Amino acid sequence: MTSPAGILFIVAAPSGAGKSSLVNALLRADRRIELSISFTTRTPRPSEENGREYHFTDRATFEAMIAANDFLEHAEVYGNLYGTSRRQIETSLATDRDVLLEIDWQGAAQVRRLFPEAVPIFILPPSLDELGRRLRNRGEDAPEIIERRMAVAEDEIRHAIEFDYAIINKDFGEALADLTAVVRAARLRSDRQRARFPSLF
């Protein structure tokens, strides 16, 4: 019987679907899950702290990490590089910690090739009209940026069928309950229960 290992959850969504809010609420309620902190070459926003939202680094360092095969996945988004640390994920999973990745569908595809047992979850808005309304209500982006995000969102949503679970974030409380249910169900799979409680099986 193999020893217990953590579960890798992958959560993807178009910008404005409420992914970060749902993930943060889940992490506050469930201490068994830790968030993978990505590396990025993006400039930190005033409210962001290195090592909390991201590990901020320069492009030369990031490219050296790519060459050293330090990333499970990496991508360039809006001119900035983003990547997931291979070592962080493997270390946490080996110590029976569950890990959650917030990445896009392309990164999810890369990770699933390396971790086919990962649990992929896609967060959807109730409609594109509602997604546009949410992006405008943020008050963070110029109209042309919102238009570009909407075009990207339409493409991203087409990839939702590649994920095992799809959660529609129309009502936040209900969507959070759905996300929590997926996490609980993954932990209750019989193969995982056998690994944790071999004497019972």
Q: Which domains does the chain have, with CATH numbers?
A: 8-200 (3.40.50.300)
What is the model's pLDDT at position 146?
Answer: 84
Q: Is the pLDDT of residue 90 over 70?
A: yes
Task: Count CB atoms within 10 A of the CB of residue 140.
Answer: 10
Distances 138 to 15, 18, 62, 64, 151 between C-alpha atoms, Å:
11, 12, 30, 36, 18
Give the strand pairing for 33-35 and 71-77: unpaired
**Sign, CA torsion 99/33/83/68:** negative
pTM of the model: 0.87
Please state the φ and ψ torsions of residue 33, each to the nearest 5 degrees: -110, 135
- Asked whether the beta carbons of 153 and 131 are under 8 A apart, the reply is yes
What is the model's pLDDT at position 96?
Answer: 86
Query: Distance (Å, rounded) from C-alpha 92 to C-alpha 97?
Result: 5
What is the model's pLDDT at position 77?
Answer: 80
